[in-house]
Amino acid sequence: MTQGRGLSRREFVALASAAAAATAVGCRGQKAMTERKEVTTNDLVELSATDALAKLRKGEVTAERYAAALLERCQQGKALNAFITLPQERVLEAARAADRFRTSGGKLGPLHGLPIPVKDSVNTKDMPTTGGTPALRHFQPKEDAPIVRALVAAGAIILGKTNLHELSFGWTSNNLAFGAVHNPYDVRRIPGGSSGGTAVAVAARMAPLGVAEDTEGSIRVPAAMCGIAGLRPTTTRYVSTGVVPITPLFDQVGPHARTVGDLALFDSVATGDWSSLPATELKGTKLGVARGYWFSDLDSEVERVANDALRKLQAAGAELVEAEVPGLARLIDLTTLPIELHDARYALKKYLEENEAKVTVDQLIAEASADIRRDFRDLLPGGKFFVEDAKYKAACDVHLPKLKQTYKEYFAKTGVAAIVFPATMIPPALIGEDVEATIRGKKVAFETAVARNIAPGSTAGLPGLVLPAGMTAGGLPIALEFDGPEGSDRSLLGLGLSVERVLGALPEPRFQR
């Protein structure tokens, strides 16, 4: 197998893809005008971010026309409830300003004119940041979060603020305050959470690229359940302050997109790393498979799709290395929830104070939806989720370092580029069925079914890339996750470029518009 073409610095900065270069020949004067008129709204919303930016940069499509097309799709998919805030006229005015800047000969940023939806837990100074909870319904921070500043500085337009699981405290995006977010592949089902709105916006062609955030699966679960790509970068790779928190040890912003190339574009903007990104040669690449942990007790359709995808990767030359991560389940039990449940109230209190939200954490919880009030009440002394200081200290100082060292030794011993596994144990569940899941006739706690597989990587701070693997017989998306060594984000994206060529994209969801 020959090595596939990667994404070069030229593609990211100049955004001159092969297709755009081909159509550029002779596209001047009246012919260019004719081609611009012939581009349909459906054509525009199907574009990747990279391809849309190429057209915007060349003037083949105006930023206003492109923004209008995305806003039209947002209206068509309004019943999916992907957005909490969608300031249409403001977006169009920003797009018109982008067009004026381009025609005046201004130096264009790498995201010039691209509308990007932002999870409504990420601070924006021009729009409210609700965290999906009633007490913050009108809270407007004084400053953008660093990730938002980076995107805007690169020329992006903030499309709106997306719906989420309230306070990011769950995996369904069934928000009782702002309404449930619906999966575009089956509107009766969850899109995953907590970044469900961003994932739905990207999957439903409301935008090609969006901002999500992940503490324990909140990028990866929605990406998996909505059939798109998602990257949770190595913890601290992107600055994640200015975000409604759970724990600073795990919280990490990151992108949703429909292509790995767009994830890589986001990564370059966020980090300033514009180095060439070659696609990894799959032939001879080792991928770790730990069936004892990640493949046990799967839904039968998840297992079928995942194993079919692994066979495709093998046929493309990848080498599967069967090896378990020693003591993984115990280390996760000792770290993930003890740290998150201990930190949640403290981190939220600090966020409210630092951002001058003018509401206390107790007031915020008192106004929260019933499910969130219950969960936060259980974090207090005497509650079932209360974590004593000694247990928390052991989690941070003993067990978390042990987990990270165990992963480091695993990667060194096996030589694998990434560990591969199904992102969740189940397909998207029906809205409201969030207490138990039934897997092959057995009742399984819902949090186990959605979070068992994704918890280890984010707890250890590893980069995790989610890619569509296929569909169930009933037409629901199933995904694989690839977790690489700490700091291997660019290499993981290079691997993803090749993997997505082998596995392919899923068909567009046919939600009722």
Secondary structure, 3-state, 87-147: CHHHHHHHHHHHHHHHHCCCCCCCCCCCEEEEECCECCCCCCCCCCCHHHCCCCCCCCCHH
Cα–chain-centroid distance for residue 3? Answer: 27
N-to-C CA span, the chain: 42
Angle at 263 (CA atoms; ends 455, 158), nearest 5 degrees: 100
Assess contact for 247 and 343: CB atoms under 8 A: yes
Assign 61 to helix, strand or coil: coil
Residue linked to tokens 């980090």: 271
Alpha helices in 239-327 (DSSP H): 260-271, 291-294, 300-315
State residue 71 phi and psi, 5-degree precision.
-65, -35
The residues, ordered by sequence, that sit 6+ positions from 63 with a Cβ below 8 Å of its Cβ are 56, 95, 96, 98, 99, 102, 112, 113, 157
* Gap between the Cα atoms of 56 and 115, Å rounded: 12
* Residues known to be catalytic: 119, 194, 218
* Nearest one of 102, 45, 465, 511 to 255, comparing CA atoms: 465
* Gap between the Cα atoms of 251 and 247, Å rounded: 6
The pair of three-digit structure tokens given for residue 390, joined into one six-digit string? 């000694």
* Gap between the Cα atoms of 434 and 148, Å rounded: 32
State residue 72 phi and psi, 5-degree precision.
-60, -40
Secondary structure, 3-state, 223-237: HHHHCCEEEECCCCC
182 bridge partner residues = none
Angle between helices 63-76 and 88-103 (to 10 degrees): 160
